Amino acid sequence: MSTTPHTTLDQPLLRPVDLGDLRLPNRVVMAPLTRARAANPGLVPTELHAAYYAQRASAGLIVTEATWVGEQAIGFVDVPGIYHEEQVAGWRRVTDAVHALGGRIVLQLWHTGAASHPDHLGGRRPAGPSAVNPHLKSFTRGGFQETVTPREMSTAEIAATVADYRAAAANARRAGFDGVEVAAHGSYLIAQFLHPRLNRRTDGYGGDRAGRRRLLLEIVDAVAEPWDGRRVGVRLAPYLALGDRFPVDEGTLADHEALAVELNEHPVAYLHLRGPDGAPGFEEIARYRRLFHGPLIANNGFDRESANAAIEAGTSDAVSFATHFIANPDLVTRFAQGRELAAGDPGTYYGGGAVGYIDYPASTDSSRSSAVTAASTSSGSSARPTAK
């Protein structure tokens, strides 16, 4: 691995790359960030969203916040959707603003399944792969609430869910997106099907490893249909343990590795891999590099130097940054110029309005960004969720 410091415009991060049919002028990807600013009854993206994403348009690629594929998918407060016309029009404002500035933007698709709560679903019980409580907390209007034992999805409901994903992808295309990313990580519907403690089914959507990954593969194929070429990314987080139902063990790691190999047979533009927590997991990412033969975006805990090193070593094609993009809308310029990075305020990560959302300035020089760092250290509110 090279340890050469990259201080000029020759950084590997600043070189163009193709991820399937997505052509990126640089390899600095904005990772998906739920910001809970769609505070309106229709869960419609607003002018605030357009301003926020436009400020970050110099990213090689923007992956949006996770977005509901349908009403049954809802499991968090003030998150936008892509399942009705007003939402499509709202997102059109966003994609127009990003494209006008020369950017590219894909929509991350989300369904919380059993991790939702009746309060999000008009009192109805959430549905999941099996009637097993995921033992999580759901963030509702009334604060955090314990999840309940979900209903087991029927095969008809599974087919309807795949259809929701397909329709959401078609809506995303009409809204002007450059592609979509399937969120298959964490504790949400697709991950619930992948994990044997949540998925106790004995039909074709469970039973063994191939059955458990079937929902994801059907969704990948369905959301690819509306596009010409390769414009579908898949996000996996094999090293993310959550509660007692989503452990990371030999079995789950083997499941994810087999899945990465299987994805080679599907129309995937890129794999977006969230690596282990702590320092960037070069070894773990290199493992997926060998299993999956398409483009790879690495994520979790990277800074400019480690990201350049990962790309230079050929470990990944691009690197995504989440928290750095919150307070550094011009992250690409800051990397290019070797400028200091500002720190965001976790108290405004989720919910609220413009404050902590569209008021982080672009840098002018390093003395200015120090001032931003000093100004953005107010403490977070304990009533809000912490980063997921």
Of 140, 323, 333, 373, the residue at the interface with ligand FMN (CB under 6 A) is: 323
Decide whether 60 or 206 has the Cβ nearer to ligand FMN. 60
Structure tokens at 152: 């087991």
CB of 267 to ligand FMN, least distance (A): 20
- Among 169-177, 188-196, 316-324, 352-360, which window interacts with ligand FMN (CB under 6 A)? 316-324
Question: Could you give the CA distance from residue 332 to residue 271 in angstroms, rounded to a whole number?
Answer: 22
Site string for ligand FMN, 5-44 (x = CB under 6 A): --------------------------xxxx----------
CB of 123 to ligand FMN, least distance (A): 25
DSSP state of 81: B
The partner residues of 81 in beta bridges, in order of sequence, read 68
Decide whether 139 or 206 has the Cβ nearer to ligand FMN. 139
The partner residues of 19 in beta bridges, in order of sequence, read 22
C-alpha separations of 341 from 303, 329, 336, 373 in Å: 10, 10, 12, 8
Question: Could you give the CA distance from residue 351 to residue 384 in angstroms, rounded to a whole number?
Answer: 8
DSSP state of 78: S
Site string for ligand FMN, 219-238 (x = CB under 6 A): ----------------x---
- The catalytic residue positions are 188
Is 108 an interacting residue with respect to ligand FMN (CB under 6 A)?
Answer: yes
CB of 328 to ligand FMN, least distance (A): 11
Of 300, 308, 328, 348, the residue at the interface with ligand FMN (CB under 6 A) is: 300
Of 196, 243, 301, 380, the residue at the interface with ligand FMN (CB under 6 A) is: 301
Count of residues touching ligand FMN (by CB under 6 A): 21
Structure tokens at 176: 């002007």
User: CB of 320 within 8 A of CB of 351?
Assistant: no
Is 321 an interacting residue with respect to ligand FMN (CB under 6 A)?
Answer: yes
Sole residue written with tokens 């020369």: 102
Is 322 an interacting residue with respect to ligand FMN (CB under 6 A)?
Answer: yes
C-beta neighbour count of 261 within 10 angstroms: 13
Q: Produce one character per residue of 87-118: b if its CB has 16 or more CB atoms within 10 Å, e if not.
A: bbebbbbbbebbbeeebbbbbbbbbbbbbbbe
Structure tokens at 8: 């000029």
Site string for ligand FMN, 142-181 (x = CB under 6 A): ----------------------------------------
CB of 221 to ligand FMN, least distance (A): 21
Decide whether 31 or 54 has the Cβ nearer to ligand FMN. 31
Reduce the secondary structure of 141-156 to three states and give it as a string. CCEEEECCCCEECCHH
Q: What is the DSSP string of 225-288?
A: TTSSSS-EEEEE-TT--BTTTB---HHHHHHHHHHHHHHTTS--SEEEEE--SSS--HHHHHHH
| 3-class secondary structure, 295 | coil
CB of 137 to ligand FMN, least distance (A): 16
Site string for ligand FMN, 54-93 (x = CB under 6 A): -----------xx---------------------------
Is 241 an interacting residue with respect to ligand FMN (CB under 6 A)?
Answer: no
CB of 110 to ligand FMN, least distance (A): 7
Is 388 an interacting residue with respect to ligand FMN (CB under 6 A)?
Answer: yes
Q: What is the contact surface with ligand FMN in residues (CB under 6 A)?
A: 31-34, 65-66, 108, 183, 185, 235, 274, 299-301, 321-324, 349, 387-388
